[in-house]
Structure 1
């Protein structure tokens, strides 16, 4: 299996665990200002569906987001099935930053989104969340590759300050405009 496809699948599985652990706390506020945990899951489903649809994949009717866990499970099954198809991950297209592959976009943009929004859902619903130093470095490198576009409208808020010796998870969240101390530290 293509390495990028595998990375997307792993990140999908991690997000699924977090969504499964939300225990119906879908209306809890998240670190994404103005969004509940339900809104975060809806965003992830909708953005992936939009991208896959633009790439010519028919995902059928959108899942009912009244039950975010069920909607995510239905969508995740479809998305993983598409990415696993022979030749799909290697398919090239003209991406926002130039030529790329569908697998790279799913792993390094939409998969990146799964990790970061996994943090948002976990923290909104009282679940633990962290990444190891290697994953934090990979996520930060991906964000660095987007340059100023990282802070475009609707992407990430401006970075917040943390001590230089902050744990990798805190440095990553701060780089992406999220207060690592949320909710006790305030909204980003």
Structure 2
């Protein structure tokens, strides 16, 4: 089967955001409830390798849900490792055989075509999470927005347990990325809480 899309745009966008993050932002909140910037970076380290293995099928029969939150290890070389792993993921999914049959990631088995779209969603949405948490902008290609919006179009209004919270209502004329974020249970207008001086 021919590849259905290329991960390069989403991988480049996520890598660009990661490249601007500094360690003094590690404890900052993200749109993912209870997860700090550091926690989310650790998640990206794990998912980028897990979805590469899903492409090669080497994880079939032996994948497991990764640790999450503060228990997730973050390697010291995270700022170079994440872009390298994203490049490897992109290359792995360019192989036609990556898209054939079933595959596995995080202990979940599904058709490879669906797994690829889940991976694209993870890159784009967590890219936005990290960008907005650290005062950056995320570029998402129109093609990726169309793929992910179609993928999430039938999302239950109450969300998907373990994946997405309840859908956030977003105006129909809002930008495509905002509408996509709403389908994942995110508020496109999310901003990190700013501490205020009680004396002011």
Q: Scaled by the length of structure 1, what TM-score is found? A: 0.73
- TM-superposed CA distance for 1:148, in Å, is 4.0
Higher helix share: 1
Alignment-derived partner of residue 64 in structure 2: none
For residues 118-142 of structure 1, the C-alpha deviation after alignment (integer angstroms, 9 at most, x for no partner) is 1001001100135466543321111
Structure 2 residue corresponding to 1:89, chosen from 91, 98, 106: 98
In 2, are the aligned partners of 1:8 and 1:106 still within 8 Å (CA)? no
Indicate yes or no: 2:71 matched with 1:72: no
Provide the rounded CA distance (Å) in 2 between the counterparts of 1:19 and 1:173: 19
Q: Give the alignment's Cα RMSD to 1 decimal.
A: 3.5
- Which aligned pairs between 1:110-129 and structure 2 lie closer than 5 A? 110-129=119-138
List runs of 5+ in structure 2 lacking aligned partners. Answer: 61-72, 195-200
CA contact (8 A) 1:136 1:168 kept: yes
Question: In the alignment, which residue of structure 2 is the partner of 1:46?
Answer: 46
1:61-112 residue CA offsets vs partner (Å, 9 max, x unmatched): xx9534432231242243234334x4432432267796x33xx345411012
Report what 1:56 is aligned to: 58
Does residue 165 of structure 1 match 2:149?
no
Query: 1:37 maps to which residue?
Result: 37
Distance 1:107-1:132 versus aligned 2 partners, 3 A rule: same
Gaps in structure 1 of 5+ consecutive residues:
none
3-state secondary structure, aligned to 2:102: strand
Larger Rg: 2
Query: Does the C-alpha gap of structure 1 residues 10 and 127 become closer, same or farther in structure 2, counting only changes over 3 Å?
Result: same
Q: How many residues align?
A: 177
> Residues 97 and 19 of structure 1: is their aligned pair in 2 closer, same or farther, counting only changes over 3 Å?
same
Paired residue secondary structure (1:179)? coil
Counterparts of 1:176 and 1:74 in 2: how far apart (Å)?
Answer: 27
Match in the other structure for 1:141 = 150
